[in-house]
Each structure stands twice: as structure tokens, then as C-alpha cells.
A and B are shown apart, each in its own frame.
Chain A
């Protein structure tokens, strides 16, 4: 059948298939995840901007010394985890809105894997900084 002509492929009417499905049953949790991570990022990113005044133009030894302090490492890890969690949740909405059909699931997976790996890389960099600054003493 010509694809441009509207047609119904199954015996069951398409409206009947769609009706009663209701909402996705998980949207509210996603919405809360987006808002709570956003609110958490406000103090964390403010802290980061303040730290950037200390680190702007810094050399390697200064950055290692900074990263070795437990408070900085904790805040940095929290910032990285929250940032990429918020990015994951936010990018998922963009993918849901603009990517349809067969590309949708791969795009969703790409967002999930990409943001998770970047977050992990950041956390391990923080751990490595702590380790290397304690061995430098």
C-alpha cells in the first residue's frame, strides 16, 4: 500500500490501541529528578565558580594541591555526579522531543552511556588527584 495514503495496518483500530494507555506512569519521577538536581547544582556550581577564582591560571602543582584537600575533592565529586545526572535527565527530554522512530532508543542509550562515562571519568580524576597529592607529600 502507498505509504502516503493513510491506512491502518492492524485489525484493531489505532485509536483503540492508543486509548487507555494514559500517561507513561513515570513522568513525575523524572520531573522531580530534574528539579531536585537543578536545585542541588545551584550551591555546587556557585562553589565551583568561586574555586575558579583560586585556580584560574594555576599550574599543575597548585591544582594537585587544591584537588588533594578532602573538602574540595568531596565538593568536586558531588558537582560532577550531579552535573552529569542533570545532563542525562535533561538531554533525555530533548531526545524524547526531537528523535522519533528507530533512532529513538539508540539516542536514549547514547545519552545515558555518554553522560555516565563522562561522570565516571570526572570522579576517577578526582580520586587520582587525591591519591597523587598524598603521595607527593
Chain B
């Protein structure tokens, strides 16, 4: 027996033979709720945020290594596919932050009733989507502007 918790699943019949007790029903028997999607999304976005942070560290490492390595990193971050990854990272961090703030509020003993939970769910989605859209487009615009300004200045010199 690998898992000690399994001890609780072994019962005995009235004739003394052993039987495995039924486990509690699994996910597929439950009706879809927004709250369960938001709950697992918080975990998934946490993992994505970590992966993005790892990429961010490599970007910083490239900057520390020198201009040549940083030029390679810029090719990745300037690439449309790379920018899609960056936007995905940003959106994941934002959703994970919104979900995390909700958890902190729950931990303080607020907004944890069924009605409040169901009311706050769509709000959390709205805030995350709104903040992600605004921040991602603003950051991409700033980066593109800076690039084109430098390209123009480069031509002038």
C-alpha cells in the first residue's frame, strides 16, 4: 500500500471479507459552474505565470550577458509569435493576481457566501480581461513607438 489514505477505503463485509469502499464522485458528475472554471484557471495561470517568469529571467540573463545575446532576445520579443507569448504571460499574471486578491479577501472572511461568489465571478473575469487588454495594447504600442523612433533616428544619423 503506497498511500496511507487508502487504508480508509478498505472495509470489511459482515462475512469478514475485505471490500474497497466507494470513492466520492469525481468531476464529471457535476454540472458546469463558472466558479469551478475560475478556480482551476487560477492554478493553470499560476503555472503559466511561472513559465513566463522563467522566460523573463532568461531575458534578464541575456541583457546581463551582453549586446549580442540581448539582440537575440529582442528578436524573440519583437517577433509576433514572441509578442503573443508575452501577452499570454501578462494575461495569466493579471488573472492570477485577480484570483489571488479574491483568495486574500476570502481568507479575511469576506465575499465567501454562495451568492457573493457567483456575483463576483463574472466581475473577476471582466476585470482580468479589461486590464489585460488595456495593459497589453498599451505596452505593445509603447514598444512599437520606441522601436520606430529609434529606426528613424538611426536613418537620420
Contacts and interface: CB of A to CB of B under 8 A. Distances in A.
Interface of A: 5-9, 13-15, 17-18, 21, 35, 38-39, 41-42, 45, 49, 52-53, 56-61, 63-64, 67, 76, 80, 83-84, 87, 90-91, 94, 100-102, 115, 118-119, 121-122, 124-126, 128-129, 132
Secondary structure at the A interface, as helix, strand, loop or mixed, is helix
Contacts of A15: 7-8, 10
A84 B46 CA distance: 11
B4 A53 contact: no
A6 B61 contact: no
A101 B103 CA distance: 30
Secondary structure at the B interface, as helix, strand, loop or mixed, is helix
Q: Which 6 A/B pairs are nearest by Cβ-Cβ distance?
A: A14-B7, A56-B143, A57-B143, A57-B146, A128-B64, A122-B57
Contacts of B101: 42
Given A8-B18, A52-B139, A83 B53 contact: yes
Given A53-B142, A59-B150, A60-B67, A18 B50 contact: no
Contact of B3 (A21, A59, A101, A132): A101
A42 B97 contact: yes
A17 B61 contact: no
Contacts of A35: 103-104, 107
B61 A121 contact: yes
Contact of B70 (A41, A60, A87, A119): A60
Contact of B60 (A8, A39, A45, A126): A126
A102 B3 CA distance: 10
26 contacts: A6-B20, A14-B8, A15-B7, A15-B8, A35-B103, A38-B104, A41-B97, A52-B139, A57-B142, A57-B143, A57-B144, A59-B150, A60-B63, A60-B66, A60-B67, A63-B70, A67-B64, A76-B60, A83-B50, A91-B50, A118-B53, A121-B57, A121-B58, A121-B61, A126-B60, A126-B64
